[in-house]
Amino acid sequence: MTVLLHPVARPLAIVASVLMLGGSALAQLQLTPQATDATSRPSKSVRTKPVKPPAPPKEAATPAKPSATAEKKHEPQAPDNPNADLVYGAYQRGLYKTAFDLAMKRAQDNKDPAAMTMLGELYANSLGIKRDYGKAIEWYRRAADLGDREAMFALAMLQISGHGGAPDRAGAVKLLASSAKLGEPKAAYNLALLYMDGQTLPQDFKRAAELLRFAADAGSPEAQYALATFYKEGTGVEKNLFTSVRLLQAASLAGNVDAEVEYAIALFNGTGTEKNEAAAVSLLRKAARQNSAIAQNRLAHVLVTGMGAPMDKVEGFKWHIVAKTAGKGDLMLDEAMAQATPEERAKAEDAARKWLGVK
């Protein structure tokens, strides 16, 4: 079979990140691909980098805090439904001071672990209150002691990062294991990363795959993408391209950009799935617009060669220039652009500058 688009050779690497998950800002370890040469062969091993502490959320990135008048005007009233969660409702609406006051009352009066976890979130992320990792840890720990799996996960992430004290990976592992056992997919996912990393825990890809499968079944697109890579390379599981592609499809539908790229290439080549070039090019365009350099490179190939889509050299060269700016160079496209007309090159360069915001 002729491979029309080179698949992405990308062993898994571990980095630290801050994600918005389930309405809460939780520090989570995240898988990112290592971009390698398009012609290199996928490694059977999974390479890792040491886990770095996540940077504290920037104040500028925090949603604007409502004024005291707005807080009072929009303060939740007693609902008709006695089971309504006023604390989380206020949090979702950006009324962080209201959420803090309501959560503090519930935590003190009712010993409510969910309210304690909310207080930890607010203190950790400087929402409605000054950031205080010490108090965040205190509230997370109290909620974790009462069996709250979200608090266990959040506390583990702070312990790994060292926010609020010296890093405690051993303690974090115990918390992640307890949280995962209680059904928290984020904890299972991150515990899998530690098994892959092989620094905090003995490297065990089979155990990592089991944890990723649990998180993937729970709908985690990051876990779906990671497990897809396992099945693609035969890491910790028996190699199965069809299962890999099904997982890529699920992660792609959930908006995982790396999965969109890999799923698009599988569709384009008909690898592990029925060939569908139109759908593949559509996904590549989507990922390219989300600044995936690999997608931009593959889309450039499609447009310059006219394989899978109508030929559009100007648009193709534009994406080539943009991808090259991000470090994804391509000798074949360089040669094709060198043979283009001066007008084509000028239009492509102008379009690339506009995309990059360069005058």
Q: In this predicted structure, what is the pLDDT of residue 40?
A: 31
- Structure-block tokens of residue 171: 């303690």
**Whether residue 77 has pLDDT greater than 60:** no
Helix locations, 218-312, DSSP H: 221-233, 241-253, 257-269, 277-289, 293-305
Give the pLDDT confidence score for residue 84 in this predicted structure: 58
Percent of the chain with pLDDT over 70: 77
pLDDT in the model for residue 182: 97
A 10 A CB-CB count for 60 gives 5
* Per-residue model confidence as pLDDT tens digits over 202-215: 999 999 999 999 99
pLDDT at residue 10, rounded to an integer: 52
0.85 exceeded by pTM: no
pLDDT tens digit sequence for 253-305: 999 999 999 999 999 999 999 999 999 999 999 999 999 999 999 999 999 99
Classify burial at 87, counting beta carbons within 10 Å of its beta carbon; exposed 0-12, middle 13-18, buried 19 or more: buried
- Neighbour count for residue 312 (Cβ, 10 Å): 14
End-to-end CA distance of the chain: 44
Per-residue pLDDT tens over the stretch 85-110? 899 999 999 999 999 999 999 999 99
| pLDDT single digits (tens) 18-67 | 222 223 323 333 222 333 333 332 333 332 333 333 343 333 334 444 44
State percent of the chain over pLDDT 90. Answer: 74
Query: Which residues have a Cβ under 8 Å from the Cβ of 180 and sit 6 or more positions away?
Result: 187, 188, 191, 211, 214
Give the pLDDT band of residue 4 (cuts 50, 70, 90).
low
